[in-house]
Amino acid sequence: MSTNRLRPADRQLLAYLDDNPPEYVPLMATRLGLPLGHANDRVAALVERGYVRPVTNECIYRLTDDGRERLADAAADREPGLADD
């Protein structure tokens, strides 16, 4: 699997931040039905890849231009969903 491939939760988080910037991870997890620990792990991975960035020291995140572009690429490519993360 490509390390650049988005997991289903990654897509959900990126799309959520595209529509609702900025936001706390616990609120995103609740609204998306993701376990909090998993959402934290996926957001950390998205930060590492440059797709989201923290806005404050309170861990509020926003989508970056690279993240928005990657989300659009994934939608255009219609990447098949992967097994649950």
Domain extents for the chain?
8-76
8-76 folds as Arc Repressor Mutant, subunit A (1.10.10)
Q: Edge-to-edge, what's the strand order for the sheet holding 60-63?
A: 23-24, 60-63, 52-54
Q: What is the reported pLDDT for 15?
A: 97
Q: What is the reported pLDDT for 65?
A: 95
Q: What is the reported pLDDT for 70?
A: 94
Residue 63: phi, psi to the nearest 5? -70, 140
Q: Are 17 and 62 in contact (CB under 8 A)?
A: yes
Q: What is the reported pLDDT for 5?
A: 87
Segments of the chain scoring below 50 in pLDDT: 1, 82-85
At position 11, the amino acid (one-letter code) is R
